[in-house]
């Protein structure tokens, strides 16, 4: 059963571009956990670029961004480096996190484009999906956190 708004976000441990991370490492911060289909594709490229552009603003709001796809750690490192992503980008080759969050695509090959916004207590406060543009995920997530902080 995928998690819903108001529920605790499932913890995970994973290999990322910044080494091993756990979601629970970020308790006390807002977390923008965004899933995307495939590194280096047009939509996913615009999305990581926008999250990178807004990253300092997220940090000012005590928020961390974590990107997740089924790509390998080698691919994730190249992707994060090319687009200057200072946040962890997770390699979920086995699709364990993708399945836990219920965002596996119909073919079972990759993640859908879905963003979970998690509050400092670890509860899911918003789930973004079906947005027209991939990069809107970053802007909407920032707006939601700003509204929660005010």
Q: What are the structure tokens assigned to 145, written together?
A: 């956190």
Catalytic residues: 44
**HEC profile for the chain?**
CCCCCCCECCCCEEEEECEEEEHHHHCCCEEEEEECCCCCCHHHHHHHHHHHHHHHHHHHCCEEEEEEECCCHHHHHHHHHHCCCCCCEEECCCCHHHHHCCCECCCCCCECCEEEEECCCCEEEEEEECCCCCCHHHHHHHHHHHHHHC
CB 92 within 8 A of CB 98: yes
Whether 134 contacts 13, CB under 8 Å: no
């Amino acid at each position: 059963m995928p998690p819903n708004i108001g529920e605790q976000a499932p913890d995970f441990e994973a290999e990322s571009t910044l080494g091993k991370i756990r979601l629970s490492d970020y308790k006390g911060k807002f977390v923008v956990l965004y899933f995307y289909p495939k590194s280096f594709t047009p939509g996913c490229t615009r999305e990581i670029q926008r999250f990178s552009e807004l990253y300092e603003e997220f940090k000012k709001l005590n928020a961390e961004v974590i990107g997740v796809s089924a790509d390998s750690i080698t691919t994730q490192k190249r992707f994060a480096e090319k687009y200057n992503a200072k946040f962890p980008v997770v390699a979920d080759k086995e699709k364990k996190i993708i399945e836990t969050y219920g965002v596996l695509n119909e073919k079972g090959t990759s993640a859908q484009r879905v963003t979970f916004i998690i509050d400092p207590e670890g509860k899911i406060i918003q789930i973004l999906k079906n947005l027209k543009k991939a990069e809107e995920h970053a802007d909407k997530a920032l707006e939601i956190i700003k509204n929660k902080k005010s």
